A and B are shown apart, each in its own frame.
Chain A
Amino acid sequence: MSTTRHAEPAVGTPPAPGRKESDGRTTRRPLALRLLARPEVGVFLGAVAVYVFFLVSAPPVREGSAMANILYQSSTIGIMALPVALLMIGGEFDLSAGVAVIASALTASMLSYQLTMNVWVGVVVALLVSLGIGFFNGWMVVRTGLPSFLITLGTFLILQGVNLAVTKLVTDNVATDDISDMDGFGQAKKVFASSFDVGGVQVKITIVYWLVFAALATWVLLRTRYGNWVFAVGGSKESARAVGVPVTFTKISLFMLVGFGAWFVGMHQLFTFNTVQSGEGVGQELIYISAAVIGGCLLTGGAGSAIGPVFGAFMFGMVQQGIVYAGWNPDWFKAFLGVMLLGAVLINLWVSRTATRR
């Protein structure tokens, strides 16, 4: 030991506190560039562009009632796009979100009708079923560690089959019976599917729910511990777990939140149309996911917002109704969606690259 010059243990003085105010290596980029780097701003500009496009090419869009209609269409997509976006920020997918809406509506409708009970019983049971589906998805994903894509693809197929088969078994039909004359229907319709008058224009209540949920989601995401956890489990599950974030709870609750959204939209559809078509909902999950992605949520998790998907859903609603108002063949809708999705993603990529460079 004496033969070597081994290092003395480092002296125990704490490192000197920083004297300078900044390390001088980062320069602040101009405000405009910093704003453009935010995906929400990109999708907002996209939404404005689509809006202006249809204002010009479809004159009926300029009327108030048309706007109410477009917002209504957006809200039915938007209410589901919110929990789907939160789940995506949390690093997971839910492909069963579309058919889960119908599963929830079918449960409420058939349960109330077949047992001749107050519709509220069906509504509450449907909520439990929806939360249960969400819990199952989340629990399976957390327990097995398999990609949520696979797990929820399974639930998607299961629900799709069960929806059709059970409905046929119970009603001998592909649709449920009309429940509009049952106890509590009027009440439930008021809650889930009423509309109110704003300056002579009928505005659907779902628009209000949509915006309230969006504000709530934004607050939770940015201002609460839970929101912090959502970003953390999506950004790096292992790191989050290592610093004590309850990863299992966060993931499962996010899936259950999608279940809640599915229940809410399902109830809206049930009390709007009085009956439910058991084969519907297929493909809707991709619309929700697209709205979230267009809204700037990172497909791999860890980044995104709640306000972005609001604009994403608005773009979809705008196109869906705008095509009708413009008098075009509505078959073009899906093609339009695809172009918009690709366009939005490319523009987001380009904008964030240009704005974050330098």
Chain B
Amino acid sequence: MVTSLLSTDDLRQARALVEESGLRFEPTFDDLVGVFEAGRLVAVGARQGRVLKMLTVAATHQGGTLLDEVATELVGRGFQEGIDSFFVFTSPTLVPTFEALNFSLLASSGKTALLEYGDGLSRYLSRYRRQVVQGDNGAIVANCNPFTLGHRYLVEQAASALDRLYLFVVREERSLFPFDARLRMVQEGTVDLANVTVLETSWYAISSVTFPTYFLKNGDPGGALQMELDLLLFGTRIAPYFNVTTRFVGSEPLCRTTADYNAAMHRILPPLGIEVREIERKTAIGAAISASRVRELLSRGELEGIAELVPVTTLDFILSSEGIKIWDKGVSR
């Protein structure tokens, strides 16, 4: 029977089992469950949000149904919490095992593979079937928190260089401006550009699944691996679907995590046939325009400087009653 692992001894056994199998024991999770046999832990698995991790079965007990039971329990518990899509990080050698559980492979790099339960990626892509055009297309993935003149400049440069530009707005709700507001600011701020298509990333690019450290901003070394998977997933599954041959990105002088991401992009995408073009940031009042600069001004209530940094469509939103509610709480990021 699968049970919750709660006591200190449970945790000690879980750590030992996970490490024995060559995985890293990560102490952050929403659920940690396992199966005991005669007082000994023989299978373990954890769930953090929609991500299942550390799924391990003792060497002496493999080949049975323990992994299925643990995965069932974690999916069931996640579902109770309102989550309806699940991912798993595991060793590439276990990919076939998870495929037999109806997981499908998203990306795999040397030591780690990312799979999802079900075929959400195909469903996500097919939702955009009608927006796919032939030709040499470009892509930008951006949070746009909020949409600035810097984003606008990047979009203009990219759109003028290629047939069509797909602008993927980060779906994840971890930012000051909620997704709906960010999407609207982007749509309104690019409506005059005929060859720009605005889409959302779902869980498949810069999300808490593919790139959790993006939202932390502290250059966590463990993030490097996931950054790679995020880019592999983009390069092998998303870009080909939209005939994307170039990914555009703004140069990053300030934030370490984003700078690392850009560096990883130059390393991973070109071998997959995707050119990476880094565009020098537009500046205003002596410094690069960035969304974090806008948020900083908002948090201090300094509205005067903002008009220089954002398009009028964004400014209108920020000053609307809906917009004011979002930033007038002294919250940053």
Q: Do A and B come from one complex?
A: no
> A residues engaging B (CB < 8 A)?
none
